[in-house]
Structure 1
Amino acid sequence: MQAAAETPESVDLAALVADPYTAYARLRDAGPVHRITTPDGLSAWVVTGYDDVRQLLADPRMSLSKRNARPGGYRGLALPPALDANLLNLDPPDHTRLRSLVTKAFTARRIADLRDPIQRIADRLLDASIPRGHADLIADYAAPLPIAVICELLGIPETDRGDFRGWTDALIAPDPARPSAAKEAVGNMLRFLHQLIAHKRTRHADDLLSTLVEVRDGGDRLTEDELTSLVFLILSAGYENVVHLIGNGTLALLEHPDQLRTLREKPERLEGAVEELARFDGPAPLAIRRFPVEDVTVGGVTIPAGETVLLSIASANHDPRRIPQPQRLDLERERSASGHLTFGQGIHYCLGAPLARLEVTIALDTLLRRLPHLALGVPRERLRWRPTIRARGLLALPVTF
């Protein structure tokens, strides 16, 4: 058994942003677990192999609660309790209680009822771009679509959506040149959510937010902070992951014309293709940080309790010991052949995965049907990615059609 490494390795931000799969492959080949210093100065452990990542995602010893971080160790974005008391920061039994309440409101019927609205939103967005013959597929399609869908699900009127995308972007990838932007975004988001919840209390409707407010006001097991945090999580996660899945998936298809041609010829394979696209270039290279409640041994290396652990979804999804030829995009790959971890594993498996799959399937189907001559509008090397190792998404995706 190896002791903890004394000198952390530094992480090359540029390499992880530009080509995370090559960078993680080097780490994976060098060993199953590494002690690193991230670009923001955080000391953490990164786990790279598929089997280890899958096991630790579901390991009850890997806490999500920041109360189990060692003193002075974890330095994440400081959120007020009204935004912090969400499923990504909780362990059982609180996590079990909240997830049970949300699952009851986040029903399969409610998701299925969104199919037609999602299709209308996708068509409306393309209707605005088609006459121009070109677009930024992120700003004009991939980003506004999930915002509109989540707001439809929650029952947020279009006039009340405010500057939600800007606030979320400031939280996802803070601008080093504007250190106060993230703090301002937190304040704006909190005010927005408080006003929104107050509005739903006076105008109840058949939507998810009204249902959650009803659970809270029924005197049951949902506090006001938990209610606000749940809405924040649904809004932010439902936006961020889907916009990156649509953008990354579209780019992958454009860079693999043989696969794009196959999908056009066999549109019935689209749902399976979405799984391969999610594996090939998913939206979250790293799972939400964990804190072991006791010393944990991974690949012969002991990680002390309370340390920050980063489980690399990007590396696991490209581990050749589990996925044959992982660097190859194969839209006919059987889902069971990869068992990708993009949506997580265990009790923290993404609650919104069915909705995300539905949105991405409809978004890509609409693009393929309505834009038969879709092509990149700039050379590949001019594309820019979000400058963060915690999200994998394009800043813009210029296309012509």
Structure 2
Amino acid sequence: MSEHWPQDALIVLGASEEQIPLLREARRRGIATIAVDMRPDAPALPFADAALKVSTRSTDAIAEALGEVRPAGIVGGASDAALASWHALGVRYGTPYVYPWSALAAAGDKAAFRAVAASCGVTGYGWTASDDPEEVVAQAARLRFPLVIKPADGSGSKGVTLVTSGADLPAAVARARSFSASQRVIAEEFVQGRPLAVEIFMRDGRALMLCVKDKDFVDGSFVVRRLRTAQLPTAAHGRLTATVERLCRALGIADGPANFDVVLGADDGRERVIEANPRLGGDGVPRLLAAAYGVDVVRALIALALGEPFGDHLVPTHTAQAALELIGSPLAVDGELDAWEGVAAARAVPGITDVELYAAPGDLVRPHDQSGHKIGLIVAAGPSAADALAALERASALIRPIVRPVTEAT
């Protein structure tokens, strides 16, 4: 079977829309790619030179299918599912970069990350976790409400519920378990304050690139709708940088990307680190960073995977303010996309740097109740935050996905 695979290829674990920039960059450089994804209709597959249709979690199946192929490198994007395989395959093939084993536990278990954060002296909050639903409910009832209930091994805001009373706990725990491969659920005290996302790229144990972003959510959920480059006082920015650097080192990330969900407390302004994602950020974050600073974290990650110097890709070429909006279905039920309206006009708005569409007419689109259900994105940049936001809102008002509900008859 190995004769069908390109030699010296870059293995890209996953072929969702988040992996399209990785595959595009490899193609730009003339590097052959093999995309691994069990879905035959994964959106990034057309950008790869070859497709291996197995689960990214199945390390042995990937290696067996590759046969005698010796990959030039292995890379993963914004997906936690592939991180264990990224490490195991790197060890198996002796690739220049091996994803750190020590980061895996925190990536796949939010409770394990809470222990790492505590060991680093990071300000915490009350929480409990268990694979026993009755235990989670009993222990959570002793915490301070409101609480956030979520799968301990989840991502993309799947199965997350905000509860305000003990009566709501059993249903929220059952919902979180339905999205958890491990059946493990974590309950956390909800932290009131300013929600932030911190993107970092480490080199030799220090932050070579760091960006703090404000987050806005889809109404009534924890699904990100907008990201905006954030302005923080110098002291707060310095504390936050030191905190995420410390966490990266504790996770074993001396080189490479990570991102963190953070809340600046409403009462004391101190950072509470809610989650760690030891990988590239999703939801179009690389495009936001390019618009704001001219850095290219995708090029840097591929260079790192191939054992090449990567620092030059993270040197800012300019400084601007940037904002990003994720486009979701306008419906609260499943639908079929009939058409896009206003796309050309939106791309022509001054300040718009990217408009990316992930769904085409005829595609099934789902309610925007988790990150993976986005159907497009818009990125804007400008000399001020107000300029970037104004351009984004103008373009957003022009783009309209026409979606009709899907009925049983359809």
- For normalisation by structure 2, the TM-score amounts to 0.28
- For normalisation by structure 1, the TM-score amounts to 0.28
Q: Which has the higher helix share?
A: 1
Q: Which has the higher strand share?
A: 2
